[in-house]
Structure 1
Amino acid sequence: MAIAAPEPKAELQPPLIGERRVVIRDVCWEAYLQILDALPHSRSSRLTYDAGVLEITMPLEDHEFYRSLIEYFIRTLVELFGMRIKTMGSTTVNYPGLNKGAEPGNAYYIQNQPLVKGRNVDFTQDPPPDLVVEVDITHTDIQKNRFYANIGIPEFWRFNGKVWHIYQLQEGVYVEVDASPTFPQVPKNWLYRFLEQAKEDEIDAVQSLRAQFQQFDELSGQ
């Protein structure tokens, strides 16, 4: 039987500030939808609704840096491995039957890309995204592991500004794993190195990732 991975613990050192959050409790589904509709579509804030708890997140610079660069990392790997992708970004993912809605950091269809390519996704009929990425540098009141496991996201990445957690859905709960099920050949240090290099030069980081992959590919082919 799969045992659910615990929510990541807060760091003991002074916390980094990556997001500002506002939490509103006792919000019904209809009120959540009204708030969602009242907000402009072009905004930086993101909403997560979980059974009466509405969390509004305002990303700051560190959050957006890591979120954008992790997407760059994923898209480069997809290309290098000859895969296909449909990027959902922070598209609103609503599941009224589960009383849950979210605008994740990034969401992707990779394995199920052929099912949803060339059209808008209908979450009432289509499968959920294959991979969701959240950057949670500061505390969040939403238990994201339980939240996305209940939605049925097969793979969930969380990054707190220092540590990359990879979760795989097993028997309805997330189990933390050492390698991404989507990119099983990729060790964790590739992302850490990529993000560290990107702080100095993002293009150089991508070029180094490509060179690293080529070297890995040549060694694998021997």
Structure 2
Amino acid sequence: MVIAAPEPKTEFQQPLIGEQRVVIRGISWEAYLQILNALPQSRGSRLTYDDGVLEITMPLEDHEFYGRLIECFIRTLVELLGMRMKTMGSTTMNYPHLKKSAEPDNDYYIQNQPLVKGRNVDFSQDPPPDLVVEVDITHTDIQKNQFYASIGVPEFWRFNGKVWRIYQLQEGVYVEVEVSPTFPQVPKDGLYRFLEQAKNDEIEAVQSLRSGFFS
């Protein structure tokens, strides 16, 4: 068990600029699909479509740094806890009946991993990922909480470069909670300490997480 400690205060010399964004309004679902299909599968930009609003996000260094480290944190926890996981990365999640589509930073099947293991996910039939992670350092025009709640994602993490927020879906809306439903053994400050240590040495941060988790 990780021993809880006071939440560290992170100070920055200058405001973080984690993403560049372009927003296009008045785009139909059919037009969005044409844009999506015209783009190469291997690309740096990520698309989010919410009933007529298309947001194109180009992640910058701070965004990628935190996104990759949060994934490393989750992977390590899954391994330490003896869980199973199917990683979806930024796979396009299309929900045409809702006119919504997302390419989140990270998303995972953990509780429902047995339902989707060994094959491609069909979002028209399979449940949504159990956990979605978004790094939003700069302003986004998409109401992400409402967006992922409407899709039915049980747990949603948001990180703005300073604050980690955990949301649990309860009766169709997100409620902010202090402990992850997927990882109740991990105190809220666990990710903060991991990220702070990883700024200097990512490998050492993972080793510290492994060695201290059950102490």
Bin for the TM-score computed over the shorter chain: over 0.9
Q: Structure 1: which 4+ aligned runs deviate by more than 3 Å? A: none
1:19/1:138 contact within 8 Å kept? yes
Q: Secondary structure at the match of 1:134?
A: strand
Q: Which residue of 2 aligns with 1:45?
A: 45
What stretches of structure 1 of length at least 5 have no aligned partner? 1-12, 216-222
| CA distance in structure 2 between the partners assigned to 1:24 and 1:183 by the alignment | 37
Query: Structure 2 counterpart of 1:131, which letter?
Result: L
Q: Counterparts of 1:95 and 1:42 in 2: how far apart (Å)? A: 21
1:153 equivalent in structure 2: 153
For residue 188 of structure 1, report the CA deviation from its aligned partner: 1.3
Q: Which residue is 1:81 aligned to?
A: 81
Aligned counterparts, 1:10-49, within 5 A: 15-49=15-49
Give the TM-score of the pair, scaled to structure 1.
0.90
Deviations 1:38-93 (CA, angstroms, capped at 9, x unpaired): 11111110000000000000000000000000000000000000000000000000
CA deviations 1:98-137 (Å, max 9, x no partner) are 0100000100000000000000000011000000000000
Residue 94, structure 1, aligned to residue 94, structure 2: yes
C-alpha distance in 2, partners of 1:30/1:212? 50
- Name the aligned partner's letter for residue 44 of structure 2: S
Deviation at 1:214, TM superposition (A): 2.6
- CA RMSD, Structure 1 to Structure 2 (Å): 1.0
Check whether the contact 1:15–1:138 (CA below 8 A) recurs between aligned residues.
no
Deviations 1:129-187 (A, max 9, x none): 00000000000000000000000000000000000000000000000000000001100
* Structure 1 segment 150-189 matched on structure 2, within 5 A: 150-189=150-189
**Structure with greater helix percent:** 1
CA distance in 2, matches of 1:23, 1:160: 19
Residue of structure 1 equivalent to 2:114: 114
SS of residue paired to 2:97: helix
CA distance in 2, matches of 1:107, 1:209: 21
Report which structure shows greater RCO (CA 8 Å, sep ≥6): 2
- How far apart in 1 are the matches of 2:59 and 2:80? 30
Matched AA of 1:208: S
CA distance in 1, matches of 2:15, 2:138: 7
Which position in structure 1 is the counterpart of 2:126? 126
Alignment of 1:191-206 (within 5 A): 191-206=191-206
The alignment of Structure 1 onto Structure 2 pairs a total of residues equal to 203
| Structure 1 residue 189, shift from structure 2 partner | 1.0
**How much identity, in percent, do the aligned residues show?**
83
Residue 207 of structure 1 is matched in structure 2 by 207
- Per the normalisation by structure 2, the TM-score is 0.93
- 1:14, distance to aligned residue in structure 2 (A): 6.7
